């Protein structure tokens, strides 16, 4: 029987609680690795891109918006907001790939990624009262050549409809990759823990 991970005591500047502004089970599982008590609240933010907005600007804006939306509900807390999109070069312009939401859209996205390098950008914002710490992580995924049968099998097996780009690198989706170039393996899953830990330590949370 697996042992329960012990919680790490933390002494943030004012002892305020930690809140993840997300309903994503992937981000929740990642943050739980740190052993810090936290809760999750839905940010309820419109994620529609602004016309002409780049992918990097989009994830940065949405991470801030999600954190600030939850901060209005919990003004005493430290709030973590995050957002992720996949960016694929398309005739000199970037094409933003979000969560496919359906099997047909997922198959379409993955076939478009075949034999191409796609950038997954993840924005993170940590908000507490007037304090704001934010950063954007970029991970490059080189997809191998994918045919329709391969994509059909993968989508049916894993159903990654709620993942940016339509695949899960931490699951069966790794079989679709030729290479992954990243400074933080957790970033592609949805929450870059290495840089987030640095922010939390700077703000007074006790981490190893």
Q: So which residues are the catalytic ones?
A: 83
CA-to-CA distance for 164 and 92, rounded, in angstroms? 21
Handedness of CA 54, 30, 183, 116 (dihedral sign): negative
The SS3 assignment for 138 reads: strand
Q: CA 179 → CA 30, 140, 175, 182, distances in Å?
A: 22, 8, 10, 10
Closest alpha carbon to 36 in 81, 84, 83, 80: 80
> For 5, how many CA atoms within 13 A lie in the half-sphere containing its CB?
11
Q: Which residues of 176-188 are buried (b: 16+ CB within 10 A; e: fewer)?
A: beeeeebebebbb
Please, how many CA atoms are within 13 Å of residue 189, restricted to the half-sphere of its CB?
17
Number of C-beta neighbours around residue 93 at 10 A? 8
């Amino acid at each position: 029987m697996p042992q329960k991970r012990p919680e790490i005591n933390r002494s943030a500047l004012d002892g305020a609680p930690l809140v993840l502004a997300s309903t994503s089970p992937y981000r929740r599982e990642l943050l739980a690795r740190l052993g810090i008590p936290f809760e999750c609240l839905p940010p309820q933010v419109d994620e529609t891109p602004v016309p002409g907005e780049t992918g990097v600007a989009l994830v940065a804006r949405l991470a801030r918006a999600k954190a600030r939306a939850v901060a209005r509900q919990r003004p005493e807390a430290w709030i973590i907001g995050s957002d992720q999109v996949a960016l694929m070069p398309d005739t000199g312009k970037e094409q933003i790939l979000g969560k496919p939401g359906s099997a047909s859209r997922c198959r379409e996205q993955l076939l478009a990624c075949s034999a191409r390098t796609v950038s997954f950008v993840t924005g993170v914002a940590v908000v507490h009262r007037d304090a704001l710490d934010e950063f954007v992580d970029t991970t490059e995924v080189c997809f191998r050549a994918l045919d329709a049968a391969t994509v059909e099998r993968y989508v049916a097996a894993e159903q990654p409809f709620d993942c940016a780009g339509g695949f899960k690198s931490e699951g069966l989706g790794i079989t679709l990759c030729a290479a992954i170039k990243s400074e933080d393996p957790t970033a592609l899953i949805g929450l870059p823990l290495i840089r987030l830990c640095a922010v939390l330590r700077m703000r007074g949370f006790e981490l190893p």
